[in-house]
Amino acid sequence: MNLEDLRYTKDHEWILVENQIGTVGITDHAQHQLGDVVFVELPKVGDSFNAGEAFGSVESVKAVSELYCPVSGQVIDVNEKLRETPEMINSEPYGGGWMIKIKLRNLQEQKNLLSASEYTALTQQEKE
Amino acid sequence: MGQDHALKQTPLNPIHRRTGARMVDFAGWDMPVQYESAVKEHLAVRTAAGLFDVSHMGEIEIRGPDALSLLQELTCNDVAALQIGQVQYSALMHPRGTFVDDTTVYRRGVDHYFLCVNASNQEKDFAWIWEHAQGRVTVENSSDCYAQLAVQGPEALSILQPLSSVPLEDIRRYWFIEGKFVDVACIISRTGYTGEDGFELYFPPEFAEKIWTAVLEAGKPRGLLPSGLAARNTLRLEAKMALYGNDIDETTTVLEADLGWIVKWHKGSFIGRDVLERQKREGVPRKLVGFEMVDRGIARDHHPVYLNDKPAGQVCSGSYAPFLEKSIGLLYLPWEHCTLGNEFSVDVRGKKLKARVVATPFYKRPK
């Protein structure tokens, strides 16, 4: 996956939109900050969310992080494998660690999200 | 991220930062919470070994012919039972029968005792002891004179032995020897806070880097990992060892904390004894018990607890347990709800999840 093709939230989710379907996960920076993911709570297929609304949570030994939906839409698929192997969020944040697929309600919303370079700048800022 | 200069640092702080450890403020100390992975560090201690910098812990030394009688008055365990070279887990007692602190008491000489106390309580403990001593004994807060490392896990003995001429195998659990380790005069104590076999070493801070490096090098081929406070916390929780500030404090009595085994009734008077005696006679109103989650989810420190939909306090310590691979915790429940299997619910970020009382310790090491 080319990270340039993704859009990002300030809360460290990424989304890849193809044919009105967005695949959502958390970034490598986010998984690194969180540490070993030991638990993930995800929505059900059919649930709807507005952009910025919490759709689930990821937990490491020390921390909990809410997951915020980058766009508005309806969940059409959930990565059920993460229930048993949440550590995939650490090892493959942009691959096997994807969380949900969502059917976008409004394609224009993507424009509010960060580009790869904007997101990188944001994480650099956080490090300083 | 700017370094907070107000935080205290252990002598190994530069090493931790160089290693890339994630640092947190713990009781006013800049401490490593994890190096690479809290889970891997936890598992390393259960299956091989872990090396912890615990130099933030406080040390208080009490010397003089009246040291024994003072400590008998201040603590609930029987200090008279300690031989030279022996350690005991105990509580610095509050008149309410509660904990000023929990501590390990070392007998180093006929009239010389050494207390290892919590970092957060070090000054309070020293003031408390000094006040009660009323000049009868010498009380010294020697926390700045000692660095402390813990080497914990089934491989600890075989990793450490080549670094010392002291026969470490002969040190029994909860005993210690004062001897050379990597040519440094150390207190070598067979104690720990992980539920595993292991050692705690006390020595002058200027040797911290030398000893840390020697243990790390010797341990690497055997799977030893430098380990942080996150692993230390989940390890002690699996072993149901209390954490001051979470599970015990000045509001929880020793009996409520289910630590009756450190109360020695035959020893005579001690601070708070009357309260404990009454609780022993009448029964404790509540007790610290272990629980595991029935519903999927992790109950964490301070999450609200409900019994039959009525508020019933909060979780004291709650976490995912990396070795047991489940979500566990400790909390106080009214005595009538402490039966094994009893269910209650925990409010995990707005959702009431089911949990049940289970036997503890959650983890017991194979003999």
Cα A68 from chain centroid (whole Å):
7
Based on the fold, state whether residues B162 and B123 are members of the same structural domain: no
A107 in reach of chain B (CB within 8 A): no
Q: Is the residue at A69 inside a domain?
A: yes
Q: Chain A closest CA to B115's CA: distance in Å?
A: 30
Q: Is the residue at B177 inside a domain?
A: yes
- Domain range spanning residue B163? 13-55+146-238
B234 contacts on A by Cβ (under 8 Å) = 61
Q: How confident is the model at residue B3 (pLDDT cuts 50, 70, 90)?
A: low
Flag residues of chain A having pLDDT under 50. Answer: none
Domain count of chain B?
3
Q: Is the residue at A51 inside a domain?
A: yes
- Domain range spanning residue A99? 3-122
Vertex B221, ends B220 and B225: CA angle to 5°? 30
Based on the fold, state whether residues B354 and B342 are members of the same structural domain: yes
A38 contacts on B by Cβ (under 8 Å) = 39, 298, 320, 322
> For B292, phi and psi rounded to 5 degrees?
-130, 155
Instruction: Tell me the CATH number at B320.
Output: 2.40.30.110
Q: Is the residue at A8 inside a domain?
A: yes
Judge: A62–B298 Cβ closer than 8 Å, yes or no.
no
A41 contacts on B by Cβ (under 8 Å) = 296-297
Q: Is the residue at A72 inside a domain?
A: yes
Peptide bond connecting B205 to the previous residue in cis, omega within 30 degrees of 0? no
Question: Does B356 score more than 70 pLDDT?
Answer: yes
Instruction: Tell me the CATH number at A9.
Output: 2.40.50.100
Based on the fold, state whether residues B155 and B207 are members of the same structural domain: yes
Mutate to test the interface with B, among A59, A61, A88 (most CBs of B within 10 A): A61
A20 in reach of chain B (CB within 8 A): no
Share of chain B above pLDDT 90, in %: 98
Matching residue, tokens 């000094």:
B130
Q: Is the residue at A128 inside a domain?
A: no
Instruction: Tell me the CATH number at B199.
Output: 3.30.1360.120
Q: What is the pLDDT of residue A126?
A: 78
Q: What is the pLDDT of residue B2?
A: 47
Mutate to test the interface with A, among B24, B236, B298, B349 (most CBs of A within 10 A): B298
Q: How confident is the model at residue B5 (pLDDT cuts 50, 70, 90)?
A: low
pLDDT tens-place string over residues B170-187: 999 999 999 999 999 999
Domain count of chain A?
1
Based on the fold, state whether residues B115 and B92 are members of the same structural domain: yes
Based on the fold, state whether residues B291 and B351 are members of the same structural domain: yes
For chain B, the average pLDDT equals 97
pLDDT tens-place string over residues B204-252: 999 999 999 999 999 999 999 999 999 999 999 999 999 999 999 999 9
Question: Does B1 score more than 50 pLDDT?
Answer: no
Facing residue for B319 by CB, picked from A57, A61, A128: A61
Based on the fold, state whether residues B37 and B157 are members of the same structural domain: yes
Based on the fold, state whether residues B157 and B201 are members of the same structural domain: yes
Report how far residue B355's alpha carbon sits from residue B335's, in angstroms, rounded to the nearest whole number: 17
Q: What is the pLDDT of residue B6?
A: 87
Q: Is the residue at B171 inside a domain?
A: yes
Q: Is the residue at A127 inside a domain?
A: no
Q: What is the pLDDT of residue B188?
A: 98
Q: How confident is the model at residue B367 (pLDDT cuts 50, 70, 90)?
A: confident
Q: Which of B114, B144, B174 is the endpoint of a domain?
A: B144
B298 contacts on A by Cβ (under 8 Å) = 38-39, 59, 64
pLDDT tens-place string over residues B292-349: 999 999 999 999 999 999 999 999 999 999 999 999 999 999 999 999 999 999 999 9
Based on the fold, state whether residues B332 and B229 are members of the same structural domain: no
CA separation (Å) from B232 to A55, B226, B357, B361?
32, 11, 23, 16
Q: What is the pLDDT of residue B140?
A: 98
Instruction: Tell me the CATH number at B64.
Output: 3.30.70.1400
CA separation (Å) from B201 to B29, B112, B178, B234?
19, 18, 10, 21
Based on the fold, state whether residues B291 and B219 are members of the same structural domain: no
Based on the fold, state whether residues B169 and B314 are members of the same structural domain: no
Judge: B40–A36 Cβ closer than 8 Å, yes or no.
yes
- Given a contact cutoff of 8 angstroms between Cβ atoms, the answer to whether B270 and B74 are in contact is yes
Q: What is the pLDDT of residue A128?
A: 62
A128 contacts on B by Cβ (under 8 Å) = 1
Q: Which residues, in sequence order, are CB contacts of B18 under 8 Å at separation 6+?
A: none
Based on the fold, state whether residues B166 and B134 are members of the same structural domain: no
Q: What is the pLDDT of residue B4?
A: 52
pLDDT tens-place string over residues B108-124: 999 999 999 999 999 99
Q: What is the pLDDT of residue A15?
A: 98
Q: Is the residue at B258 inside a domain?
A: no
Based on the fold, state whether residues B72 and B82 are members of the same structural domain: yes
Q: What is the pLDDT of residue A1?
A: 76
Residue of B nearest to A56 (CA): B349
